Amino acid sequence: MKILVVGGGGREHAIAWALRREAPGAELFAAPGNPGTADLATNLPIAATDIDRLVQAVAAHGITFTVVGPEAPLALGLADRLRAAGHPVFGPDRAAAEIEASKAFSKALMDRASVPTARSRTFTDLAAGLAYVATHPEPLVVKASGLAAGKGAVVCPTRQDARETLAAMLGEGKFGDAGKVVVIEDFMPGEELSLLAITNGHGIELLPAAQDHKRLSEGDQGPNTGGMGAYAPVALATPALLERARREVLVPTLAQLEKDGAPYNGVLYAGLMLGPDGTMRVVEFNCRLGDPETQVVLPLVEGGLLDCLQSVARGAAPTPLRIGKGSAVTTVLAARGYPDSPEKGAAITIPPSLPDGVTVFHAGTMRDGDGTLRASGGRVLNVTAVAPTFPEAQRRSREVAEAIHFEGKIFRRDIGWREAARRGV
């Protein structure tokens, strides 16, 4: 078997790691990959958005199965192209990927499907958006409708904050094309939950529920980022709550997509807000595995992942996963200046031996000519620890994060703080 993982971040390193663990004899490729995937696979120097070259590479290397990691190639139609050429691929077609590529599309879809979400309005005109903000209760949320690497949603405590954010998006083009359409929505209080569903549009196999930490600094302070860490499973995600999410969110969304002529095949990520009043509302949908949720969830899958992904790629129902009983915590190490202006080039030192159950996934790294590992992105490394108990996983992840060195390193020492409070640890 020859497997291609498309992408070059921490999520793709974790996917390659999980597939290598299940299929040690497979020939594994990553495009473009990173120094972490290079230890597991053959890296192909092809950008994840270079659709033509990716399709050519699948044919040239005799790839038997492709897993698409990031959202951008899905939104560009990579899965469509591969399927049309007869190549099995895990990931939704372009039409279904609009559920992430356009927040305006997603909001309209949820309205048609009667899926609970925050009240919102969509704007392309700055003056009209500012007029709406002038009468909107505080706080409020302003979102770039397009793909913005997880940083396009801004929680605005005041209307003045919202005006400034709206002006940056629609007036100054802060997010480029992604911010040409803006969604303004009500703020949803509560606790977030990341739910990843492997699905062929009908059958649903849930991965362990996770909780991401979007804010840059400890105590959930600072700007939104692509994610500074995650943990799984989450005690809030009881079997009853997961069944409710399946019934009220996943099933009607998938049914509406099929009704609209965009049947879904791949991973549907539902970001849920669990309100203090017992409400469950959708914050966002993604058309792929989350980042950094993938890095914390896949190490908990003890078997069945490859079979499950391949089954869905064939259009069949997902097959069961074997989930371990332990806990996992992922701590993200970011570069100084992240998320707005991350510094690149710092030399990285990782301890030569790691504690049991700890894996370091590469996200934004590169090797220079003499082999030195250096930071090449905003989120640089992900330290995932799996342990029998949550406190032990939390401690191991934090301690290894502290032991890794590069100049300007930023990380949070409180990943999983809500879970720790629930457990009284």
**Do the beta carbons of residue 137 and residue 157 sit within 8 Å?**
no
In a domain, 117, yes or no: no
Q: Give the chain's domain count.
A: 4
Among residues 273, 289, 323, the one where a domain terminates is 323
* One domain, residues 140 and 198: no
The DSSP symbol for 223 reads E
Q: How many CA atoms lie within 13 A of 377 on its CB side?
A: 20
* One domain, residues 235 and 313: yes
CB atoms within 10 A of CB 192: 19
Which one, of 116, 118, 171, 148, lies nearest residue 224 by Cα?
148
Strands (E), 317-407: 322-323, 327-334, 358-362, 365-367, 373-375, 379-387
Q: What is the mean pLDDT of each run of 10 residues along the chain (425 residues)?
A: 98 98 97 98 98 98 98 97 97 97 94 95 92 92 84 88 92 86 92 97 98 95 92 96 98 98 97 95 96 98 98 97 97 96 97 96 96 96 98 98 98 96 83
Going from the C-alpha of 398 to that of each of 142, 178, 192, 247, 385, the distances in angstroms are 32, 34, 22, 36, 9
Residue 140 bridge partners (DSSP)? 156, 186
* Residue 172 CB burial class (10 angstroms; 0-12, 13-18, ≥19): exposed
Supply the pLDDT for residue 178: 81
The CATH number linked to 215 is 3.30.470.20
Supply the pLDDT for residue 179: 86
Which one, of 76, 74, 113, lies nearest residue 90 by Cα?
74
What is the SS3 assignment for 321-341? Answer: CEECCCEEEEEEEECCCCCCC
* One domain, residues 346 and 311: no
* One domain, residues 333 and 318: no
pLDDT in tens, 366-425: 999 999 999 998 999 999 999 999 999 999 999 999 999 999 999 999 999 999 999 877
**Do the beta carbons of residue 333 and residue 400 sit within 8 Å?**
no
- Predicted model pTM: 0.94
Give alpha helix (H) positions in 114-236. Answer: 126-134, 159-166
* One domain, residues 169 and 217: no
Q: Which domain holds residue 173?
A: 125-180
The CATH number linked to 9 is 3.40.50.20
Supply the pLDDT for residue 150: 67
The β-bridge relationship of strands 301-303 and 379-387 is unpaired
The DSSP symbol for 317 reads P
The β-bridge relationship of strands 27-32 and 42-43 is parallel
| Alpha-carbon span 127 to 133, nearest angstrom | 10
pLDDT in tens, 129-145: 999 999 999 999 999 98
* One domain, residues 21 and 90: yes
Supply the pLDDT for residue 47: 98
Identity of the amino acid at 150: G
H or E stretch at 400: helix 390-403
| Alpha-carbon span 114 to 337, nearest angstrom | 41
Return all residues near 247 (Cβ < 8 A) that are at least 6 apart.
Answer: none
